[in-house]
Chains A and B, each alone.
Chain A
Amino acid sequence: MPAAGDSRKQLHLPVLVFLLALVLPTQALADNAALYRSLLLPGAGQAHKGHYTKATIFAGATVLSAAGLFLSQIQYNQAADRYNNEKRTYNAYQTQLANDQIVNIEQMNGTYSAMESAWNDAEDRIVWRNVFLTTLIVTYVANVVDVLVTDPYSVDEESREASRFSIESDGREVRFGARFGF
């Protein structure tokens, strides 16, 4: 199992990418309304350019990963708090023993087991927290890159990009068809 320090190191890269994504747009792009919409809300720039399917995908992925990040962060905080409380209790035994107070070995072992269990929970949950954080950052960066490289939607693209579903039958067999346009 990787140590929490490794997880924190892994966290630095996505945070750096996130910061770069925020600060890289320069004055030269200041007049790009779609870019600023996407910077504020992923998918909004795509919607501004008329790509509603992509806008829905980016917005949906952002909402899902943000919700996952929020919930996994709460769960991680709970596990880390539980670990820190158990650790405080366990370390307090040392003070009690030094002050000539008797501590039962089962009580000490029980606290140590609870501390280990909470630490394992925190390790598991920080992995999920990092997965959601990375997903959110990747979605955000992909959204910004996409809005920079994609041209506005044109009427000519309508027939090419429209999503279609079809069912055809010639009496002997039935054919189902699906075509997705972005």
Chain B
Amino acid sequence: MKRIIVFVGLIAIVSAACTRHDDSVPPTLPVVLSQSPTNFTVSTSDNIVWTLSWTIPDPTVVRFYLVYTLDPFTGSPVLADTSMTTSPPDYNVGAALPGLEWGVSAVSTDNVESTIIYATAP
């Protein structure tokens, strides 16, 4: 009997020590998502003041927009504005930056940011 208890105890210890994984993958988080802005266009006449415009399929789930510029050296997006709740005003970048690339994304009411859409002046 003592021997049985020892072996059962050993098996229990080994089983408890083993890493386990769940029976199934958990469901995705139940959050409100916003679609990315569409028809994103950028225009400028002097490469200093830039005019951005976009449309959004469902503005009711958008809390605000995030506007980015693309760093010309690293190619990574740099956050330029976090306060846009509707169409943005013109942006004055202070110096002539020809070919500057812009990005915009929509943040949903649950704080989930959509995919960033990029555009540059034609």
Q: Collect the chain A residues with CB atoms within 8 Å of residue B105's CB.
A: 104
Stretch at the interface among B20-28, B37-45, B46-54: B20-28
Show 28 A/B contacts (Cβ-Cβ < 8 Å), sorted by A. Answer: A3-B24, A4-B22, A5-B23, A19-B7, A19-B8, A19-B11, A77-B19, A83-B21, A83-B22, A84-B21, A87-B22, A87-B26, A90-B29, A91-B26, A97-B110, A97-B112, A100-B111, A101-B111, A102-B66, A102-B112, A103-B112, A103-B113, A104-B112, A108-B112, A112-B28, A119-B21, A119-B24, A126-B21
Q: How far is the CA of A149 from the CA of B27 in the complex (A)?
A: 54
A55 to chain B, nearest CB (A): 25
Known: A3-B24, A84-B19, A87-B26. A97 touches B7 (CB 8 A): no
Q: Does A71 contact B (CB under 8 A)?
A: no
Give the number of A-B contacts (CB < 8 Å).
76
> Binding site of A, secondary structure by majority: helix, strand, loop or mixed?
helix
Known: A19-B8, A103-B112. A4 touches B21 (CB 8 A): yes
Q: Collect the chain B residues with CB atoms within 8 Å of residue A83's CB.
A: 21-22
Q: Does A94 contact B (CB under 8 A)?
A: yes
Q: Give which listed residue, B19, B26, B29, B107, contacts A80 with CB less than 8 A.
A: B19
> Binding site of B, secondary structure by majority: helix, strand, loop or mixed?
loop
Q: What is B's interface to A at a CB cutoff of 8 Å?
A: 3-4, 7-8, 11, 18-26, 28-29, 31, 33, 66, 105, 107, 110-115
